[in-house]
Amino acid sequence: MTRKLNALSTLTALFTGVASLSALASPAPQPLSVPEASPEMLSAMQRDLGLTPEQSLRRMAVEALAAHTEKRLAAQLGDTFAGAWMNEEGTQLIVGITDEANAPQVLREGAQPKLVTRSLAQLERMRTALDQNASRSPRGIHAWSVDITTNRVVVTAVDEALAKAFIADSGLSAEDVRVELSREEYRPLYDIRGGDAYYPGNARCSIGFAVNGGFVTAGHCGGVGTNTTGSGVAQGTVRGSTFPGKDQGWVQTNGSWVAQPWVNNYAGGVANVAGSNDASVGSSVCRSGSTTGWRCGTIQARNATINYANGPVYGAVQTNACAEGGDSGGSWLSGDQAQGVTSGGSGNCSTGGTTFFFPVNPILQEYGLTLRTSGGGSGRAVRSRLNNKCIDIPNSNTNDGTQLQMWDCNGTGAQNWTWYSDGSLRALGKCMDVAWGSVDAGAIIQLASCSGNPAQKFVLSGAGDLVNPQSNKCVDIVDHNTNSGAKLVQWTCTGSANQKWYQ
């Protein structure tokens, strides 16, 4: 609590000196405090934006107020509004206008007006024309978007002539669209997630745990040099493999794959990986695999030797959880701690059996790998002042559209929310979101893939209101329900206890 108060005191002092937004006219919202920034966030902003921690706090304060200012001006200026953006220093909101008569209104809001030719609505119509022609866009047209800072639409492509032909075919003038050349073609990114299937050659195995640069798995799944695929696309190459003696391997993935600190729980969600502390004999343990999904049991013995026909494997861990073919290499967790990768066993998941896993820590040590983890608490629970329960992702279900609820606080990743510098509030790799970007009271508060859109930006005010600036409405517990399972929506801010939050 002392750290939070000190951070907010520093922020208040910094904000007092920010002149660019200090003259907000009525009915401006009350000054909003920025949620406490984690050391990791401040460090990343210092590294990537060249800011000190104090500059980072000040920038977040200004940006939080700028979001409210932009929303008000967009509504007030109507068809003459041409977008709003922060200057390079992050200290001043600039607002594009197509009518010079609106400049005083922008200045009264503490923003800087800029006279431009095209309104935001016109720019969006041009972008939509390109969207409607997307199915006919040739290979080499990489992307297109509205650049409000230059008041033009931008097409990124490998060749200027190719881009101009696409623009003309979409019914647009070359004067309205800027072409940027890039030889790098954009590609989809795939998550490396424990328990998911991957294919070394013609075989099928399961990912163990994501590490920086790839993932660990069982050695018997493929020898060094074996190429792997996943999700129907090229994935990587086995760089380390030992079997028998040990049953360990690691796959180095290509740039289309992103290592995530999660394991597929085969219930529509994920389990967080916070570390790799070895669990004691008798501890519960659960495993994830692409054949039989999520199965649990207890640890029966450590440092067991498995006498396979191929030769013995030493140092394994024996369990009474079941597994079947294709589960090999998959993840074992005790709580949120990584334990190992599936090696083999007997029986099946119909009649039961004995299954062994090879410990993860020796694999990491031998190959010099770093386990991808959630940070073990870098985020924090968001609690209600109504009932002291926590905002929760039901059953850790990370499917887009999962409505958030209230639940008894339990310290799991489903309640571990982290504020990001873009204003989003994230857990299990997804963002808190207002469904369909609605500004209406009653729209559900859900989980969704992070996209940077305004429906995923929230501000925790000094009064404890959790506000979406786009709608200017508060996160609300439906019907003041104090029970676990109560659903969340956005509602007109009333100051009532079912809209009050703290961390």
Q: Which of 247, 336, 465, 476 is catalytic?
A: 247
For residue 366, give the 3-state DSSP assignment. helix
Q: Which of 33, 220, 241, 276 is catalytic?
A: 220
Beta bridge partners of 85: 94
What per-residue string of b and e applies to 58-77 under the rule 16 or more CB within 10 Å gives b? bbbbbbbbbbbbbbbbbeeb
Assess contact for 191 and 252: CB atoms under 8 A.
no
For residue 281, give the 3-state DSSP assignment. coil
Catalytic residue list contains 247 = yes
Q: Which of 328, 343, 424, 471 is catalytic?
A: 328
Question: What is the distance between the alpha carbons of residues 72 and 76, in angstroms, rounded to a whole number?
Answer: 6
Q: What angle do CA 251, 253, 256 make, to 5 degrees?
A: 160
Please compute, for residue 478, the number of CA atoms within 13 A of its CA located in the half-sphere on the CB side.
15
Phi/psi of residue 464, nearest 5 degrees: 95, 10
Task: Give the residue from 83, 112, 115, 86 showing the smallest Cα distance to 100.
Answer: 115
> Parallel, antiparallel, or unpaired: how do β-strands 488-491 and 473-477 relate?
antiparallel
Catalytic residue list contains 328 = yes
In 243-330 the beta strands, taken as DSSP E runs, fall at: 248-253, 257-264, 270-272, 284-289, 293-308, 311-319
Assess contact for 454 and 437: CB atoms under 8 A.
yes
* Residues tagged active-site: 220, 247, 328
